[in-house]
Amino acid sequence: MGTTGIGEGHEKTGTGATWQADGLRDTDVLSTATLTGFLERGLGNGVVPITMTDYGSDASRNNPISGNACVRPNTGGATNSIFVDTGVVCLDGAFYNVGSASAFNFNTPSYYNSRFNAGGMVLPSALNEECWVLVIVDPELSGTNNIGLVCGTVVDTSTGIYPQMPSSHLIKQSCILAAIRVTYASPLVVASVEDKRVFIRGGPLPLTALFDSSSTETDPLNDYGTTPALTAGNLPITNMGLLYARDPGGALPGSGETHLYYADDQGTAHQITPLSRQDKQTISYTGPGSGGSLTYTPIAAPSTGGEHVISAVWFGSASTQMCPLREGIHYTVSGSTITFLDLATTVIAPLGPLGIGDVVFIYTYNG
């Protein structure tokens, strides 16, 4: 966490939260809930840090006791109630709004989904009894703001044992927000809270270039094997798009670089990067050999043998005369440099010969 040392885990003392001052820390026992959280993030499950994105000025970005979907006890209120602050969570590819501004009692049976709690809600009921309760995102409990609870085995700590965290939530993908240690009293008490949120950070996402099994630079739409000995994937698949990176190769824009592609479910590959943009500039023609530089380098069209995606129109006599020009006949392009040929000889009547004037270029470049 940003405000804690790496050896202090999620129960840092001195944060102003007395409810995190005791209990096992992550460095004492690496709990299953912590391991599950990291695994779920690898599957793309976690809290979206929609209000915690500024490293410089957002004090709650990595604060274990505040922020999106943070779980905390109802300090100053009922000891058997907790808050789950509002937030957005991704679980199994779907997004859910969780939490609210209201506290709720953790000994409310409706929060304990029978799928994860086969015996129902079983909490401490006698002196010295304790258990761990996981606060998870449960899409099946929409009436609870998608918050669910999973109770662990109740133990008598006077016998020298410590309660273990439950694992029944592992039968499905799950996003754990926190673990609360519940001790017996009347009413029950939140003895401590361990923050178990993992955040889905916003990019960048690195992709390596993708080739077919022969290592050629063709669109790997139907072959994702790394060697010819592997069975090729049967792609594309109807109703599924595919995002991948590869080197376009050949004379395509971006040859020799890795770019992003999208393959639709019909087997058509669409190059996403580099992004093509257009610009419009004016260069004066004062005679053969004159010219100038465009701000950007126009891209070449592979099907034209090297000509560029560019058009030019000569204007003269206060722009009352105009004449379209063609690359290679009336001007040349080298990089971003335009060089005019002799428009007095290359353009004949009735449009020419052409003399001094302005030439407007409209061209496409990679932005």
Dump the DSSP string for 24-56: --TTTS--HHHHHHHHHHHTT-EEE-TT---TT
b/e burial code for range 181-211 (CB count within 10 A of at least 16 → b): bbbbeeebbbbbbbbbbbbeeeeeeeeeebb
Q: Residue for token digits 């063609």? A: 326
Please state the pTM of the whole predicted model: 0.66
Q: What is the DSSP letter of 137?
A: E
pLDDT in tens, the chain (367 residues): 344 444 444 444 445 566 554 444 444 445 778 778 878 888 888 988 876 666 555 566 667 778 889 899 998 889 999 999 999 999 988 999 999 989 999 999 999 999 999 999 999 999 999 999 999 999 998 888 999 999 999 999 999 998 988 988 888 888 999 999 999 999 999 988 888 888 887 667 888 777 666 666 566 665 555 555 556 666 677 888 888 888 777 666 677 788 888 888 887 888 888 878 899 999 999 999 999 999 999 998 878 778 999 999 999 877 678 999 999 999 999 999 999 999 999 999 888 899 999 999 999 998 6
Q: Residue for token digits 């302005």? A: 358
CA distances from 102 to 12, 71, 77, 83, 88 (A): 25, 12, 11, 7, 17
